Amino acid sequence: MAKQKKGIKPTLIWNSNWEYSPAPESAKPAAIAKKYELFIDGKWQQPVEKGYFKTINPATEEVLSDVATASKKDVDKAVTAARNAYEKYWRKLSGAERGKYIFRIARIMQERARELAITETLDGGKPIKESRDFDIPTAANHFFYYAGWADKLAYAFPNQKVSSLGVAGQITPWNFPLLMAAWKIAPALATGNTVVLKPAETTPLTTLKLAEIIQEADLPPGVVNIITGSGETGVMLTQHPNINKIAFTGSTEVGKLIQATLAGTSKKLTLELGGKGANIIFEDAPIDQAVEGVINGIFFNQGHVCCAGSRLYVQESIAKTFIAKLKDRLATLRVGDPMDKNTDIGAINSFQQLKSIQSYIEIGKKEGASFYQSKCKIPNQGYFCPPILFSNVAQSSRIAQEEIFGPVLCILTFRTEDEVIEKANNTPYGLSAGVWTDKGARIFNLTKRLRAGVIWANTYNLFDPVSPFGGYKESGFGREGGLHGLYPYVQLS
Amino acid sequence: MAGKKHLFNITILSHPPIDQTGTEERAAKFTKRSIKGPSKKQGLRMVLSMIDLTTLEGKDTPGKVSQLCTKAKQLHHQIPDLPRVAAICVYPSMVGIAKTALKGSDIKVASVATAFPSGQSSLRIKLSDTRLAIEQGADEIDMVISRGKFHSGEYNFVFDEIASIKEACGKARLKVILETGELGTLEQIRKASDIAMNAGADFIKTSTGKIQPAATMPVTLTMLEAIRDYYYKTGKMVGMKAAGGISKSKLALHYLVMVKETLGEAWLDKKWFRFGASSLANDVLMQVAKEEEGTYQSATYFSID
Amino acid sequence: MSKTERLEVWKTYKLFIGGQFPRTESGRTYAVKNPQGKTIANACLSSRKDLRDAVVAARTALGGWSSRSGFNRGQILYRMAEMLESRKVQFREELVAQGQSVSAANREIKNTVDRLIYYAGWCDKYQALFSSVNPVASSHYNFSTPEPTGVVALIAPEELPLLGLISLLAPCIAGGNTTVILASEKKPLSAISFAEVLHSADVPGGVINILTGSRQELTSWMSGHMDINAIVASAIEPDHWAAIQQSGAKSVKRLFNWNKIDLTSAQGQSPYLIMDLQEIKTTWHPIQSIAGSGNSY
């Protein structure tokens, strides 16, 4: 019927007679081995103290593989291998030849893309659609980009003599395992350094496959070493005296510990830590696209994104309409089996993380914010969290200040430009922000005054190897990507 | 539904800004949905039921139109339980032929009118063009807006014209063709959509199919969002017709995904969504046959009318 | 040749225009001889009309090529390197037939592949080096970026039939320009064979067009053609270049003589060669400053 009865608010019906059938990706191409050793000096080596830990699929809780735990002796072996490779071979190789090795890695990643994407989804819980279309291609592209810099460093630093640092110790997080490994390894190699990298405990598999690819590319032994293990292994790596540089992506809490550990040493450090990104919607924003940008900003990758737009600041004059549209959009988000091609929001990475998110949800409710949860179905097993909105959140709420790292959006309103700039900046974090408005002059005003390392105007969560990424304040220091991404790995004189 | 003629109000023209890049990104996401198995079979049949089988050529004859109507009533005898298309779409001079040929079936007869496709004529002529079709029995009228007047900024003219044609339609449902390929930006398209809906359109339609570009996903998305905002504001449903350039089943299914995830269940019905197409039907039939038989099909097994 | 030996099928060398291999519309050819004086092929003697067609193809392809991302152009240049590397035997034989020693041929091919990779790497980087945000004194956001000049005519050197060609071609297209190339007159075969590499490297038709023929004839038509935006030469006689400069002035062509660059060394490649074929565009936009709080620090 064309018209609604008088008095009944128009509503859209989201449950449909036409439901999408399961569209599962096959797990077979992942070819995950039952057991993985450490990759040191170009060889797969058993850990000195024979310890292994299990990595599981957070969507099903099934065990995927046994992975070696690197002890102090293994860390030492790896660093020594990296040091030898650096001194005897890598630092002497011409930039052009270094670049060609890195091109090879990029190419092979492209060729093995499907295997890598499926592995990433199984190990970490993110939707196959994201691994396939974002994580893996972007990771390969980082290698392509930095391969091209290897023989061009003289142009990147005017009037400076450029030299490499030596051995880089790198620690990557579980939210974008392969991509973060690419962000670390590619610039390090391009600038002539060698690497010892420790991937996150819950997601080691794609980094281990990257080690296979590195072997396939015939990279000289010891140039890249992968040591798996828990946080403890990472600590040992940061403490090793024969390392020239540490790069860490992870929580602000651990970042501070590492920074303290390095005090008194001459090790260079870059940190890429947490965030509490403010996504700011002005009343003249392109509303429907802004809704999409907000959704993408907080629910992409289950909200496990350091630069997530976890604080929504919406101008009060359009708040009601905007929130109603957000809720409509939430209704079509699909939470479920990450291996299903139609899944938008996959599994939470670990039981621990799920508990943490749930505790913040309780805090939010206790603080008096208005709670809204998507009505989607959640699988019975595995670690899942539906997308959640908290509105009527105050600047002083804990959920508006602390990083939740999950699919939880906090909505606050504002009235003037100055007010929202002040509130957006009112945080120890400073990684990212979003600005939605039709007015160019306002965009540039905000990009000038927001204290964040990445500002997205009329878009969100866009990444490109040529674009520098990194934070202000407690979100860390140093940049990854672009020309600025070379700085952390060179010595200038 | 006949009623009082609508009056132009300047507030109709206010709409939020539209970002082209963001719209394209959102439209692209719909193409990532994987429609397989039962949902594919169901989707394909839905597509068929939403087709306005169209012939709009200068060389159309009674013979051509009758044959098309025969096809409409029986798309493919070898596949059982196929839905029928929603409508036949022809020029006013052919409405009578179509009406006779389709007697007894529930397939509607839609007629283009108002100096289709250019719309460059007087209101008097456009009204008599419409009445000719109505008198011959047309169930639906596909009119074109005056793009020239639109670009001159004479929005009230555009509005009044639509309202007048709507009045002449009587019980027939009015589809308003915006000719999006001539309008330019998505914001122009949004403006034209709002004018058409407020003036009484039962459907808003992308294109005449006579120029490029015709329907695209970002353009259709913009129109669907206009329909949604209008529905929330007034409680009135308006239908969407995507015409021109949709000849493959896969694309048609992407469109249905877009409708489902923008407007929801109520619009997934031939009463509120149409494909204006000619060769789409055969591609869908081939896909339906493939789903049934499990093998890729050849065009030689499907009648071309 | 004995009765049991197999007769070889000789390659016909045509032009490369718009992604296709047409013959010259003039029907003329000239004999390409090896150092012993034996004719090894008949190359097309291009006409003014061939040049016209090539420029049309290049102009048509310019919009698409220049709007591709730097990353995409880099991928294509990298693929060109892959294709050339995998055909090095073919190219070596051809270079040797045209008078090179085996070792010189090997060296030339190696350097050509490496140079393609070099420029592949620049495609998405030169912008970061040569753009700027300019700190104007007024409340405006002001930025300068390079943009490709347009359709560029390249006059390849007579020697180094492969390396010479690439040394001009790669920086030109890496920066988003499209090109019409005049191959070496004495040794044109490698250029036409290189077109086969372009074909298999996903280079869109019209981005690179290759003509063979008389240097004197073709360069004079090039310099007068109103729809060519720039001309680059290397290893050209001063008188010849002066004539091109004279004629090129009629359409304010950008003219570059890269004769001082040693193509066989690392000097033969540089991002500044990319920049020779770029224009600089500067844009201004207001930054609004709402009265009230000044600094957000």
Contact assignment for C71 to A156 by CB distance below 8 Å: no
Over residues B145-162, the pLDDT tens digits come to 999 999 999 999 999 999
Over residues C202-250, the pLDDT tens digits come to 999 999 999 999 999 999 999 999 999 999 999 999 999 999 999 999 9
Calculated CA dihedral for residues C221, C222, C225, C226, nearest 10 degrees: -160
| Residue count (chain B) | 305
> DSSP alpha helices (H): ranges in A300-404?
316-330, 351-366, 398-401
Considering CB atoms only, which of B43, B256, B261 is closest to A332? B261
Interface of A with C in 446-475 (CB under 8 A): 448-451, 464-466
- Tell me if there are at least 3 CB pairs under 8 Å linking chains C and A: yes
Is residue B177 within 8 Å of residue B205, measured between CB atoms? yes
Which residue in chain C has the smallest CA separation from A443? Answer: C287
Which architecture does CATH list for A278-465? 3-Layer(aba) Sandwich (3.40)
Q: How far is B280 from chain A (nearest CA, A)?
A: 21
Distance CA B157, CA B154 (A): 5
Q: Which range marks the domain in which residue B252 is found?
A: 19-25+35-293
Burial class of residue B67 (count of CB atoms within 10 Å of its CB; 0-12, 13-18, 19+): middle
Residue A5 reports pLDDT greater than 70: no
ipTM above 0.90, yes or no: yes
Contact assignment for C292 to A449 by CB distance below 8 Å: no
Which residue in chain A has the smallest CA separation from C128? Answer: A483
What tokens appear for C160 in the block?
A: 């180094």
What 3 state SS string does C105-140 have?
A: HHHHHHHHHHHHHHHHHHCCCHHHHHCEECCCCCCE
Over residues A424-441, the pLDDT tens digits come to 999 999 999 999 999 999
Which residue in chain B has the smallest CA separation from A436? Answer: B19
- Beta strands A43-45 and A38-40 are antiparallel
Taking contacts as CB-CB distances below 8 angstroms, the residues of chain C near A138 are none
Contact assignment for C125 to A450 by CB distance below 8 Å: no
Highest mean pLDDT among A47-56, A287-296, B72-81, C6-15: A287-296
Distance CA A138, CA A113 (A): 11
Q: What is the mean pLDDT of residues A316-345?
A: 97
Query: Which residue reads 């565009």 in tokens?
Result: C281
Query: Which residue reads 């969504």 in tokens?
Result: B273
What are the residue ranges spanned by the domains of chain A?
A: 28-272, 278-465
Give the pLDDT score at C260: 87
Which residue in chain A has the smallest CA separation from C120? Answer: A148
Percent of chain B as helix, strand, coil, to the nearest 5: 50, 10, 40
Whether a cis peptide bond, with omega within 30° of 0, leads into B80 is no
Taking contacts as CB-CB distances below 8 angstroms, the residues of chain A near B234 are 10
Q: Is the residue at B167 inside a domain?
A: yes
Q: Which chain C residues touch A if contact means CB-CB below 8 Å?
A: 70-71, 74-75, 78, 114, 117-118, 120-125, 128-129, 141, 271, 285-290, 292-293, 296-297
- Tell me if there are at least 3 CB pairs under 8 Å linking chains B and C: no
What tokens appear for A407 in the block?
A: 């699919």
Residue A90 reports pLDDT greater than 90: yes
Residue from A15, A18, A438 whose CB has the most chain B CBs within 10 Å, to mutate: A18
Residue from C69, C136, C288, C297 whose CB has the most chain A CBs within 10 Å, to mutate: C288
Name the residue type at position C45: L
What tokens appear for C112 in the block?
A: 């050509």
**Would an 8 Å CB–CB cutoff place A155 in contact with chain C?**
yes
DSSP letter at A134 equals I
Q: What is the mean pLDDT of residues B44-58?
A: 96
Neighbouring C-alpha atoms within 13 Å toward the C-beta of A488: 32
Which of A272, A403, A474, A480 is labelled catalytic?
Answer: A272
Over residues C79-112, the pLDDT tens digits come to 999 999 999 999 999 999 999 999 999 999 999 9
**Would an 8 Å CB–CB cutoff place A415 in contact with chain C?**
no
Distance CA C97, CA C103 (A): 13
Q: How far is residue B108 CA from its own chain's centroid?
A: 13
Taking contacts as CB-CB distances below 8 angstroms, the residues of chain A near C128 are 466, 482-483
Q: Is the residue at B187 inside a domain?
A: yes
What tokens appear for C24 in the block?
A: 């010259």
Q: How far is A22 from chain B (nearest CA, A)?
A: 7
Distance CA C187, CA A472 (A): 58
Contact assignment for C128 to A152 by CB distance below 8 Å: no
Give the pLDDT score at B301: 85
Assign A218 to helix, strand or coil. coil
Residue B139 reports pLDDT greater than 90: yes
Residue with the bigger pLDDT between C233 and A16: it is C233
Contact assignment for C290 to A149 by CB distance below 8 Å: no
Is residue B2 within 8 Å of residue B160, measured between CB atoms? no
Is residue A109 within 8 Å of residue A140, measured between CB atoms? yes
Distance CA A206, CA A64 (A): 12
Give the pLDDT score at C25: 96
Contact assignment for C121 to A465 by CB distance below 8 Å: no
Contact assignment for A439 to C287 by CB distance below 8 Å: no
The chain-wide mean pLDDT, for chain A, equals 96
Assign B261 to helix, strand or coil. helix
Going through chain C in order, the beta strands assigned E by DSSP cover: 29-33, 39-44, 132-133, 140-148, 151-155, 178-182, 208-211, 230-233, 254-257, 278-286
Over residues A349-378, the pLDDT tens digits come to 999 999 999 999 999 999 999 999 988 889
Phi and psi at residue C31, in whole multiples of 5°? -80, 130
Residue from A97, A102, A105, A152 whose CB has the most chain C CBs within 10 Å, to mutate: A152
Which residue in chain B has the smallest CA separation from A20? Answer: B39
Per-residue confidence at C295, pLDDT binned at 50, 70, 90?
low
Which of A306, A376, A385, A410 is labelled catalytic?
Answer: A306
Residue A402 falls in the annotated catalytic set = no
Is residue B234 within 8 Å of residue B262, measured between CB atoms? no
Q: How far is residue C80 CA from its own chain's centroid?
A: 13
Give the pLDDT score at A130: 97
Residue from B223, B232, B234 whose CB has the most chain A CBs within 10 Å, to mutate: B232
Taking contacts as CB-CB distances below 8 angstroms, the residues of chain C near A422 are 293, 296
Taking contacts as CB-CB distances below 8 angstroms, the residues of chain A near C293 are 418, 421-422
pTM of the model: 0.94
Q: Which chain A residues touch B if contact means CB-CB below 8 Å?
A: 2-4, 8, 10, 12-23, 129, 133, 284-290, 292-293, 324, 331-332, 341-342, 438, 458-459
Contact assignment for A444 to C70 by CB distance below 8 Å: no
Over residues C269-286, the pLDDT tens digits come to 999 999 999 999 999 999
Is residue C44 within 8 Å of residue C23, measured between CB atoms? yes
What tokens appear for B153 in the block?
A: 């900024």
Q: Is the residue at B97 inside a domain?
A: yes
What tokens appear for A239 in the block?
A: 């403490």
- Shortest CA distance to C208 belongs to which of C224, C220, C196, C190? C196
Contact assignment for B232 to A10 by CB distance below 8 Å: yes
Distance CA C11, CA C16 (A): 15
Q: Is the residue at B6 inside a domain?
A: no
Residue A272 falls in the annotated catalytic set = yes
Give the pLDDT score at C199: 85
Domain count, chain B: 1
Over residues B96-112, the pLDDT tens digits come to 999 999 999 999 999 99
Give the pLDDT score at B79: 86
Per-residue confidence at B3, pLDDT binned at 50, 70, 90?
low
Active-site annotation of B, residues: 142, 205, 241
**Between C70-86 and C102-122, two packed helices, what is the crossing angle to 10 degrees?**
160
- Tell me if there are at least 3 CB pairs under 8 Å linking chains A and B: yes
Is residue C54 within 8 Å of residue C209, measured between CB atoms? yes
Q: What is the mean pLDDT of residues C265-270?
A: 93
Query: Which residue reads 């980094």 in tokens?
Result: A207
Query: Which residue reads 């990779």 in tokens?
Result: C117
Over residues A158-210, the pLDDT tens digits come to 999 999 999 999 999 999 999 999 999 999 999 999 999 999 999 999 999 99
Give the pLDDT score at A1: 41
What are the residue ranges spanned by the domains of chain C?
A: 29-280
Q: Which chain B residues touch A if contact means CB-CB below 8 Å?
A: 1, 16-19, 21-23, 25-26, 32-40, 42-43, 46, 202, 225, 228, 231-232, 234-237, 256, 260-261, 263-266, 268
Phi and psi at residue B223, in whole multiples of 5°? -70, -40
Per-residue confidence at A2, pLDDT binned at 50, 70, 90?
very low
User: Which residues have CB under 8 Å from C195's CB, separation 6+?
Assistant: C16, C21, C208, C210
Torsional sign, CA A408, A413, A418, A422 = negative
Give the pLDDT score at C16: 97
Q: How far is C66 from chain A (nearest CA, A)?
A: 18
Taking contacts as CB-CB distances below 8 angstroms, the residues of chain A near B269 are none
User: Which residues have CB under 8 Å from C26's CB, separation 6+?
Assistant: C45, C46, C47, C49, C50
Taking contacts as CB-CB distances below 8 angstroms, the residues of chain B near A342 are 33-34
Distance CA B45, CA B291 (A): 11
Residue from A448, A462, A486 whose CB has the most chain C CBs within 10 Å, to mutate: A448
Assign C225 to helix, strand or coil. coil
User: CATH number, domain at B154?
Assistant: 3.20.20.70
What tokens appear for A334 in the block?
A: 């699909």
What CATH class is the domain A28-272?
Answer: alpha beta
Contact assignment for B18 to A22 by CB distance below 8 Å: no
Per-residue confidence at B296, pLDDT binned at 50, 70, 90?
confident
Residue B206 reports pLDDT greater than 50: yes
Considering CB atoms only, which of C70, C123, C292 is closest to A418? C292
Over residues A393-403, the pLDDT tens digits come to 999 999 999 99
Distance CA C295, CA A140 (A): 41
CB atoms within 10 A of CB B299: 11
What CATH class is the domain C29-280?
Answer: alpha beta
- Shortest CA distance to A394 belongs to which of A358, A368, A366, A418? A368
Distance CA B189, CA B176 (A): 12
